[in-house]
Amino acid sequence: MNILGKTHAGLMLALVCAVLSGLPQSAHALIGGNLDCSMPGYPSNGYRFTPGQEIDIAYTGTCTIRRAFPYAAGMNAQIAYMSGADQARLRFVDPYSNTYMLELPLGQYGGSCLGGPCRPLPLNTVVPYRYRLVGTAPRTTGRRYVQLYLGVTSHNYANWAEWFMQYPFNYTVYLPACSLSSPSSVDLSFGTISSADLSNQKQSTSVSVTCPAAVQATATLVPSQAVVSASNGVSRTTLAGLNMQARWGDNTPVNLNSPRTLQLRQGSNSLGLGFTPQLESGQSPAGAFQSQYTLTIDYR
C-alpha cells in the first residue's frame, strides 16, 4: 500500500511539472527598467473637436536605453475606450513607415520599432520618437474618455518589455457657435397702402447666419400679436381688422410658434421671410399698424 501511494504522488508531481513547463513565455513576469523616456504634454481639460473633424495628435519625446536591446525594441500600442458613447475609431500611425501600428500587448511585437528602423540599441543610446494618433471625431456631441499606451518589447527577449507612455486621451465633441451676419433687428415699412391693393403688398427680408461647420438647426417665428391661424402664418396687427401673413423664402406659410428644421451648411446661410397684410372678412380698417415677430434659430 505504501508503494502504491508513492507511485501516485510521483505521477501527480510529473503532471504538475508538465503543466508549468507548457506555459507560454509571455505569461512570465515582464522585466522593466529597460529605458527612460521623456513624456509629451497634453491639455489638462482634454481636447476639443467639432463633429467630423479629423483627429491628428503627435506624441514626441526621447528614450534613453538603460538595458541594451541586442536586436531591436519592438513597439507596442494599445487603445482602451473607457467611457462615452459613439467613440471615434482611433489608431496610432508609425510615421517612419507611414503605416498603422498593430495594437499589441507587452511581450509581443510586430514590424514597428522604437524610433524608426528596427536595429540593435546599445546601452545609453538616446532614441527620439514620434508617433501620431489619428481618427475622425464622431458626429454626436459629448465627452469621451480613452487611455493610450505605448511601449516596447525586446526582439527575441520578450520578457524585457514595458509601457513608457500611459496617457489619458479625453476629448469633447462640441458644436461651434454660428454667428448672425445680418442685423439683429430689421424694420420693414409698407408705406401708404390701400385695402384694394393689399394682395400686391409684400415686404421681405433675409436673415444671414455664418457657421464654421455644418449643423442641424430649427427656426421658430413667434408673433407679438395674437395668432389667427398658426398653420397659415396669420396673426393680428395693432390695427383691428387687419392681419399679417408670414411666409418663408420658399413661399410656404410659416407655422407660427412651431420650429422648422433646417440644415445649415458650413459658411454663409440665408433664411428668407416675407410678410403680406390681409383684411379680416367684412372689415375696412384705416390707420397706422405694426406687426412684430421674434425669430429664434436653435442649432445642436
Stated pTM of the model:
0.63
- Residue 44: the pLDDT is 86
Nearest to 101 by CA among 147, 148, 65: 148
Band of pLDDT at residue 23, cut at 50, 70 and 90 = very low
DSSP string, 154-212: ETTEEEEEEEEEEEEEEEEE-PPPPEE-S-S-------S--GGGGGG--EEEEEEEEES
Taking residues 119-137, what's their average pLDDT? 97
Contact status, residue 133 vs residue 90, Cβ threshold 8 Å = yes
Q: Which residues contact 225 (CB under 8 A, 6 or more apart)?
A: 235, 236, 237, 238, 244, 291, 292
Burial zone of 154 (CB within 10 Å; 0-12 exposed, 13-18 middle, 19+ buried): buried
Band of pLDDT at residue 6, cut at 50, 70 and 90 = very low
How far apart CA 238 and CA 242 sit, in angstroms, is 8
Band of pLDDT at residue 28, cut at 50, 70 and 90 = low
> CA quadruple 108, 113, 117, 121: dihedral positive or negative?
negative
In this predicted model, which residue has the larger pLDDT, 135 or 21?
A: 135
CA angle 83, 87, 92 (to 5 degrees): 105
pLDDT over 90 at 127, yes or no: yes
Band of pLDDT at residue 299, cut at 50, 70 and 90 = confident
Band of pLDDT at residue 243, cut at 50, 70 and 90 = very high
Band of pLDDT at residue 200, cut at 50, 70 and 90 = confident
pLDDT over 50 at 5, yes or no: no
> How many Cβ atoms from other residues are within 10 Å of residue 204's Cβ?
12
- Residue 3: the pLDDT is 31
Taking residues 178-191, what's their average pLDDT? 88
Taking residues 74-89, what's their average pLDDT? 96
Band of pLDDT at residue 99, cut at 50, 70 and 90 = very high
Taking residues 31-45, what's their average pLDDT? 91
Question: What digits encode the pLDDT tens for the residues 201-232?
Answer: 899 999 999 998 788 899 999 999 999 999 99
How far apart CA 222 and CA 218 sit, in angstroms, is 13
Q: What is the mean pLDDT of the chain?
A: 87
Nearest to 151 by CA among 101, 97, 77, 99: 77
Strand ranges (E), the chain: 35-37, 47-49, 54-65, 73-83, 91-94, 99-100, 126-136, 142-154, 157-173, 179-180, 203-211, 215-223, 227-229, 234-236, 242-248, 260-264, 267-279, 293-299
* Residue whose C-alpha cell reads 421658430 in the numeric block: 220
Strand-pair partners of 81:
146
